[in-house]
Amino acid sequence: MIGHTSNNAAKVETARVVDKYLGETLAKAKAAGYTTLITADHGNLERMFTPDGKADVAHTENLVAFILVPPEGTAPAIARTSFDPNRADGALSDVTPTVLAALGVQQPADMLGKPQFRPEKTGKVLLIILDGWGMGAQDETNPIFLAETPVWDDLLKNYPVRYLRASGNAVGLESGKAGNSEAGHLNIGAGRVVPQDDVRLENAMQDGSFGENPVFISAVEQAKQTGKALHLFALLTKKSSHGSIDYPLELLALCKRMEMENVFVHIFFDGRSTPPGSAPQLLRELEEKMRQIGAGTIVSGVGRGIALDRDKNWAKVKKAYDSLTLGKGARYR
């Protein structure tokens, strides 16, 4: 989803193009006798600006629509639900139970979600997941609202719609945390709330088992016994689904307890799940907490988009690789 860009014109154009191909897909599905269900894995594209007016590139906590489109020639009498951003009809875990209901397949006992619709059984169901397509404000801060989206507008007006939670504890994340693709698809597929890694890690930090993890302890002991340094990667963020500033701090506290001296921290700056320009303040916070713990030294930093590139762009990744393995890079003084 192109919502992660700060190019607002591109966001509006994306909404228009997605709507165009959604319409083409729906027309063929209806003609072929499919019951079509449409939803999203999380919100993102629908919010253009942060509260302070800056470009918003992060995921959101917004609800997502869940729409039923029957086959051609059928019109089930299922009332639409009016949209209220503060009230949800269910969660993403209800999607697969609804698919099974449409197929006439019994829902497994471990699948705890509930069907949002019980359409006429056709034996053929198409599930369309619009990546990052949340329900935003109906104004000029919403690229989907600004774009020409006749298909989407018609769906919301004339077809059965429910609104689902796609963030926070409704998808197994920490309360108040924006949704993401991994949590969204896991919950959709499982038909139940699947606890995500950040919740499991947070629970482990709260009950103390994080610092007692035998794998962590073994790694520190091995580094001490061989006289080697310990290197930690740290994603400098408080909101990402891929990591948190708290994890390396917990490991540094473990190193302090085990009297491990040479601990070097390599920072991955996050400009995607956190607002661009927030790194300096987060870095100051990290340095202060490291000082309080009394362990670790920050030795390198690189942008997430370089080190964690998803597009197999070796020219970008090599910069991070050379920094980590050869110590090459612009030196900070």
Has this prediction a pTM greater than 0.85? no
CA torsion through residues 178, 53, 135, 128, sign: negative
Q: In what order do the strands lie in the sheet with 230-236?
A: 230-236, 263-269, 297-303
Give yes or no: 6 in active site.
no
Task: Check: CB of residue 56 under 8 Å from CB of residue 271.
Answer: no
Residue with tokens 């154009």: 13
- Give the Å distances, CA to CA, from 282 to 101, 180, 278, 296: 47, 22, 6, 16
Q: Per the residue annotation, which of 82, 181, 240, 244 is the catalytic one?
A: 181
CATH fourth-level superfamily of 207-326: BPG-independent phosphoglycerate mutase, domain B (3.40.1450.10)
Residue with tokens 């007016």: 53
Q: In the chain, where are the structural domains located? A: 2-195, 207-326
pLDDT by 10s per residue, the chain, length 333? 666 888 899 999 999 999 999 999 999 999 999 999 999 999 999 999 988 888 888 899 999 999 999 998 776 556 667 889 889 999 999 999 999 999 999 999 999 999 999 887 768 999 999 999 999 999 999 999 999 999 999 999 999 999 999 999 999 998 888 999 999 999 999 999 999 988 899 899 999 999 999 999 999 999 999 999 999 999 888 766 567 888 999 999 999 999 999 999 999 987 666 666 777 888 899 999 999 999 999 999 988 888 888 788 999 999 999 999 998 988 876
For residue 149, which of 14, 289, 7 has the smallest C-alpha distance? 14
- Residue 49 DSSP one-character state: B
